Amino acid sequence: MEINYLSEMNAYFDEILYGNHQKFTTKRIQATNQLKSYIVENHLDSGKSTQSYDEKVIEFFNKINSGLKYDFKIRQSKDEHLFINSSSEGTVYIDTSQKRFWKIHSVAKAEVSDYFHRILTKKKNFDQIWLPIPFLLGLPKFGEMYGIGISFTEELKDDEFESLYPDNSDNLSMNIRRLYVKELLKLMKNSSMKEVMGVNKISILDPSSEENESYIIDDITFFGKVTARGTSYSKHSHILESILYNYKKNISNIEDEYALHFDPGTSAIEGYPIEVVLKRGEINIQKLVSVLFSGNKPFSLWGIPQWKSENYCQISAVDLHNGNYGKMIDFEVFPSLIRAYLPQGTCGNSISRLLTNIHQSIDATAVIKGREASDFFKIL
């Protein structure tokens, strides 16, 4: 059946989810066509152009399709917000209802959809979303905690035996399902290792109720991929919308309230420097600065550290990450504080990316202090 509207897409995914659920409950077969949804940030609509938005989207996908290893072909559906990119290996559905944050869905193999997501977020003006730990831990608000994934890639300490583990860059990695999640979270809270236990994934269960049997389990990763298992696309869609609503609010808050600018009309300086408070003990500040501003992944910031004293460094950094490519952000680094001065016009995603990467490789307990103590990345 050819899909021409978002409503038809929704119905299709409902069928897939239910079919997979049946396969598992009756035959214990794990489906290979699980529903994956990805939230992607883009600035395709920025800049001057005589093209309509639809034309821009089609042109964009025609261009990237030509370089892909699968034979994708883009078409616009009858729904103005739905674009469909099909290949012999599977189809990707692009929901552009929100111009800045697209939702991309697919039931193709993860190998195909992840590849598509990866290529897309390498393009200029495109970026994944970045969900820091407080945001992920707030998501059970939309269901029940079903599982948690933890990983950490140590950047501050060197392991002399690093070369013996070429396949796995993580120093710590585990997945815990619902029976032991609460216990683990309690352990983490009081453990000396909490600084290196980066939450990279949360699983949420929105269970069935007495009125209906529909349920969903969504695995939500820190980079905005949501994998669904269950019987209800509507519940999956609700969780996705909740993530997007809260994420957008946080990003807009950063861009509107924290970006620095001088208003010549009122002669007032608006904005607020953003402070990342590091709670991990014994941080080697020289190593920290080297990791943050080398220009390499995951931080993708390049600048020349200017050491004002042995514990204080200023850096004027160029952001080499796609969503904010080539723009400057000024930083100051202290042993337990990183201060960022966001100029007006900077993408707020840069800050969520900074914090997320700090959580995954520097200090899983770092927090951003805004005007109110728990300003940043809370679930509303």
Binding site for another protein (CB under 8 A): 124, 260-264, 266-273, 275, 295, 302-304, 306, 312, 314, 316-318, 320, 325-328, 330, 332, 334, 337, 339, 341, 343-345, 369, 371
Nearer to another protein, 22 or 49 (CB): 49
Tokens of 334: 């202290």
Smallest separation, CB 331 to another protein (Å): 10
Smallest separation, CB 256 to another protein (Å): 12
Smallest separation, CB 268 to another protein (Å): 5
List CB contacts of 286: < 8 A, sequence separation 6 or more.
none
DSSP 156-225: SS--TTGGG-TT---SEEEEEEHHHHHHHHHHHHH-GGGGG-EEEEEEEEE---SS----EEEEEETTSE
Nearer to another protein, 168 or 267 (CB): 267
Is the sign of the CA dihedral 352, 244, 198, 275 positive or negative?
positive
Which residues is 306 bridged to in the sheet? 314
Give CA–CA dist 359/336, Å, rounded: 14
Nearer to another protein, 34 or 324 (CB): 324
Tokens of 110: 């993860």
Nearer to another protein, 75 or 261 (CB): 261
Give CA–CA dist 49/53, Å, rounded: 9
Give CA–CA dist 210/214, Å, rounded: 10
Smallest separation, CB 373 to another protein (Å): 10
Smallest separation, CB 368 to another protein (Å): 11
Nearer to another protein, 316 or 365 (CB): 316
Nearer to another protein, 23 or 327 (CB): 327
List CB contacts of 354: < 8 A, sequence separation 6 or more.
276, 299, 338, 340
Smallest separation, CB 312 to another protein (Å): 7
Nearer to another protein, 112 or 368 (CB): 368
Give CA–CA dist 300/43, Å, rounded: 19
> For residue 145, what is the enclosing H or E element?
strand 144-152
Measure Cα distances from 180 to 1, 175, 268 in Å: 43, 10, 52
Nearer to another protein, 17 or 340 (CB): 340
Nearer to another protein, 209 or 267 (CB): 267
Nearer to another protein, 99 or 123 (CB): 123
Smallest separation, CB 374 to another protein (Å): 14
Find the helix packing angle between 349-361 and 233-253, rounded to 10°.
100
3-state secondary structure of 80: coil
Provide the H-helix boundaries in the chain. Answer: 6-27, 53-65, 110-120, 133-138, 178-190, 233-253, 285-292, 349-361
Smallest separation, CB 238 to another protein (Å): 35
Smallest separation, CB 250 to another protein (Å): 18
Closest CA to 44 of 101, 93, 104: 101
Smallest separation, CB 306 to another protein (Å): 4
